[in-house]
Chains A and B, each alone.
Chain A
Amino acid sequence: MQPMPMRMKLAVVLTGAGLLCGAASAAAHHAFAAEFDAKKPLRLQGTVARMEWINPHTWIHLDVKKADGKVERWMIEGGPPNALYRRGFTKDSLPVGAQIIVEGFRAKDGSMRGNGRDITFADGRKLFLGSSGTGAPNERPNTPAR
């Protein structure tokens, strides 16, 4: 029998690889690589101008003030409306004027569009507080493939 540390290390590495793949692919509507560029990570802080509740993905329109005072309007891709609603997310959850921080990736064509891989309120609050709709007792982000 191999020593435990070795086994655990391998388990961790391999499982991590599996989780990445699984969490990634189980439900994506479209392929990330086709639309966004992994070599262009984004970090934006701005004010929600509006949110489009449309399928297959919501889009958050975000005003971002640059260092020179000019404001740029970005579009950030979010989750599907139906999924958001089932997680307890409503139109009041991300109201116009909310200050948020977006981490994600920029569009391949260089336009001011990106995806929102992680979003928090600027004061540090998390976007998702819990889950509902289907009876889920807990928020379960990044759960392994189902």
Chain B
Amino acid sequence: MQRLYVVCVGALASAILFAWLLPATTAAQNPAPAGSKETANAWTPSRTPWGDPDLQGVWRYEATMPLERPQALAGKATLTDEEVARRDALEKEQEAKRLAGVEGVDVGRQPLSQSPIRGNEYNSFWQDQGRPRKVYNRTALIVEPPDGRLPFTPDAQKAEARSAARYGVGPYESYLDPDTGERCLTDGVTALMWQGPNGGHNRIVQSPGYVTILHEEYRDRRIIPVDGRPHGSIRQWFGDAVARWDGNTLVIDTINFADKTHYEWANIWTRPSETLHLMERFTRTDADTIEYEITVEDPTTFSKPWKAVIPITKLPGKTEIYEYACHEGNYAMANLLSGARAERGGR
């Protein structure tokens, strides 16, 4: 599902920005370098009783930057203040219209009879959109390579295209065919850190020698040793993670991912290869922000390493995460298989 999220958020950003930039494309170019860090290490975090930097709390990604830079913004790493203000004004105007019950393409909500089959507009009525979003001027989460795009190998690009083409369409011959989110399994090792509403609540808990990350959606949890031990030898879906402190930054090094590349699921994290090497850096840059940086190397999937810098936000102290128990009510699995059979004319 991350793939679709990326594509669609990119479409949103490119649509809005392309429209703004039409009148003065050249003048709007901003020379700010891609990948420049904004606030890293500008703040000293409190410490746990045993002396580690304190990352604890419930965190969520609350910005709108897409993972990849939209094609319409090629070469433009950041927006000007004026462009950000214009985007905000347009979004607020549309939001007001939607709250007033206006439908139509200009507010992003089609009448029932015209809703697109491949979108999930149907679900937006229910979603927890959370708090007012954080505003950043970057146009992509990816900061390396400088073009802000995933550097897929040619074969991996083809696999992505196949995955995109079958999302929501099938074929659904078996329970193995829906993606891992639809199967109530996982959205993958990093995706849950920064996906938007309906997920993305993560509690970080520290104890001497361990950091634990509890993801609400799918009840995923990572229990990561921070005690200097070397990697083990067991391959797992989420890999084998060990961590260390680099100043105030938690550095998690993960290898030994299990090979899931034979699946055509929708998300690069849910079908890792054995050559994936993931480095994650968690740096608390102020009381309410962790700069979450991921560096991904995988010659099976990517022609070169890439890096993304993702701001995640601390939610108010009263915020809890809840159980998810996804299989309990996953009627969707039976329904989509039944729907596929009905489409084929069988039962």
Contacts and interface: CB of A to CB of B under 8 A. Distances in A.
Please give me the 8 A-B residue pairs with the lowest Cβ-Cβ distance, nearest first. Answer: A79-B126, A19-B108, A54-B329, A31-B168, A108-B339, A27-B198, A11-B19, A18-B15
A110 interface: yes
A20 B126 contact: no
Interface string B103-131: 01111111011011111111111111111
Contacts of B270: none
A33 B169 contact: yes
Interface string A99-113: 000011101111101
8 contacts: A14-B18, A24-B124, A25-B9, A34-B339, A38-B117, A57-B331, A131-B128, A142-B125
B132 interface: yes
Max count, chain B CB within 10 A of own CB: residue among A30, A105, A109: A30
A16 interface: yes
Nearest to A54: B329
Contact of A117 (B108, B115, B133, B168): B115
B111 to A, nearest CB: 9
Nearest to A85: B322
Given A11-B90, A26-B8, A31 B24 contact: no
Contacts of A54: 325, 328-329
A142 to B, nearest CB: 5
B109 A82 contact: no
Interface in B184-238: 184, 195-199, 201, 216
B128 A86 contact: yes
Interface of B: 1, 4-5, 7-9, 11-16, 18-20, 22-24, 60-64, 66, 90-91, 94-95, 98-99, 104-110, 112-113, 115-133, 167-170, 172, 178, 181-182, 184, 195-199, 201, 216, 315-316, 319, 322-326, 328-332, 335-336, 338-343
A74 B242 CA distance: 50
B90 to A, nearest CB: 6
A56 B12 contact: no
Contacts, number: 322
A22 B107 CA distance: 12
Interface of A: 1-2, 7, 10-39, 41, 43, 52, 54-59, 75, 77-87, 103-105, 107-111, 113, 115-119, 131, 133-137, 139-146
A19 to B, nearest CB: 2
A56 B184 contact: yes
Contact of A142 (B104, B108, B113, B325): B108
Nearest to B91: A144
Nearest to A14: B15
B267 to A, nearest CB: 12
B316 A25 contact: no
A16 B119 contact: no
B327 to A, nearest CB: 9
Contacts of A142: 95, 98, 107-109, 121, 124-125
Contacts of A10: 19, 22
